[in-house]
């Protein structure tokens, strides 16, 4: 069975932007693309200027146009679509699980208050619910940018290294450079030593997999802000994070760090759920 990338589509410019990112990844990964639209009561009349009874036919027509537009970008790989009904975040996660997708890609408007399109308002729910790696992309991100530089921030949590294999896989597809970013949030020697050790382990992993890399360390009161500043300074194309992250030496599931990153990052964000023991 070939690899599949699932893309949440609501036909907004934001979700088409995400689709084009997904196609870029699929082309390098030799993967297929499955687009998913979920019929629910709160569909946007700004996207569908039609009666509720006709919305499925309208979505089908739009999907057929997207397939026609993008199928030649994928070579032998397939691009198709499914229409589902129910809660948006649940149906996208279910659709990805059913085809054993290796990646989900969705667009998001972040926390700008511009939430009339359903992908934007469901992005955090999809990220928190998905066990499959997921890339979120804010509207307006350059659709032609390859993944040349990937930032992998490392903190003191045990799970922080779990994002490295997926980041490394994407780096292989794009011949990217990975930036390992050690984040110090405390002066405690044991935790600082742990972070340095995690960075050293990550370095060894990248050497073994013949992936180019750089290493940097930062003092960080707010790890979201420092990660974003660093990523922007090197013109990164992707930031890889765990949905469970260090927050004042406390782990919270989809806490402020992941939530802020998904909502505010101008750079695409790869979110990975930690494996539970």
Of 88, 111, 138, which marks where a domain is finished? 138
Q: How far apart are CA 149 and CA 146, in angstroms?
A: 9
pLDDT in the model for residue 249 = 42
117 and 153 assigned to the same domain: no
Q: How far apart are CA 259 and CA 62, in angstroms?
A: 31
What distances in angstroms separate CA 211 from CA 30, 43, 118, one per listed residue? Answer: 19, 43, 37
**Domain of 71?**
4-138
Domain tally, the chain:
2
Of 96, 116, 138, which marks where a domain is finished? 138
Tokens of 152: 């992998």
pLDDT in the model for residue 128 = 83
Query: Considering the domain boundaries, does residue 277 fall inside one?
Result: no
- pTM (2 d.p.): 0.89
For the stretch 14-30, pLDDT in tens is 889 899 999 999 999 99
Q: Around Cβ 52, how many Cβ atoms within 10 Å?
A: 11
177 and 243 assigned to the same domain: yes
107 and 161 assigned to the same domain: no
128 and 160 assigned to the same domain: no
> Are the CB atoms for 153 and 183 separated by under 8 Å?
yes
55 and 181 assigned to the same domain: no
Query: Considering the domain boundaries, does residue 159 fall inside one?
Result: yes
Q: How far apart are CA 24 and CA 70, in angstroms?
A: 11
95 and 184 assigned to the same domain: no
Query: Considering the domain boundaries, does residue 143 fall inside one?
Result: no
pLDDT in the model for residue 176 = 96
**CATH number of the CATH domain containing 259:** 3.40.50.620
92 and 8 assigned to the same domain: yes
- Which segments in the chain show pLDDT lower than 50? 44-46, 110-117, 248-254
* Count of residues in the chain: 277
């Amino acid at each position: 069975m070939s690899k599949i990338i699932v893309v949440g589509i609501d036909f907004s410019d934001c979700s088409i932007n995400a689709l084009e990112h997904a196609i870029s990844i699929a082309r390098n990964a030799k993967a297929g693309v499955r687009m998913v639209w979920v019929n629910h009561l709160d569909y946007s009349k700004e996207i569908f200027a039609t009666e509720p009874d006709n919305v499925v036919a309208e979505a089908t027509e739009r999907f057929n146009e997207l397939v026609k537009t993008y199928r030649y970008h994928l070579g032998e790989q397939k691009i198709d679509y499914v229409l589902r009904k129910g809660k948006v975040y649940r149906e996208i996660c279910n659709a990805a699980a059913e085809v054993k997708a290796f990646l989900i890609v969705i667009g998001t408007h972040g926390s700008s208050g511009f939430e009339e399109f359903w992908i934007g308002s469901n992005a955090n729910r999809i990220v928190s619910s998905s066990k499959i790696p997921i890339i979120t992309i804010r509207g307006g991100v350059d659709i032609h940018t390859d993944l040349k530089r990937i930032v992998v921030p490392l903190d003191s949590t045990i799970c922080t290294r779990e994002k490295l294999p997926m980041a490394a896989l994407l780096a292989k597809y794009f011949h990217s450079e990975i930036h390992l970013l050690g984040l110090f949030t405390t002066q405690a020697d044991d935790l600082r030593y742990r972070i340095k050790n995690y960075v050293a382990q990550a370095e060894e992993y990248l050497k073994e997999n013949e992936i180019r890399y750089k290493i940097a360390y930062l003092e960080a009161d707010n790890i979201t802000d420092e990660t974003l500043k660093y990523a922007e300074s090197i013109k990164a194309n992707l930031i890889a994070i765990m949905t469970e992250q260090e927050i004042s030496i406390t782990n919270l599931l989809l806490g402020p760090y992941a939530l802020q990153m998904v909502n505010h990052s101008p750079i695409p964000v790869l979110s990975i759920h930690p494996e539970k023991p």
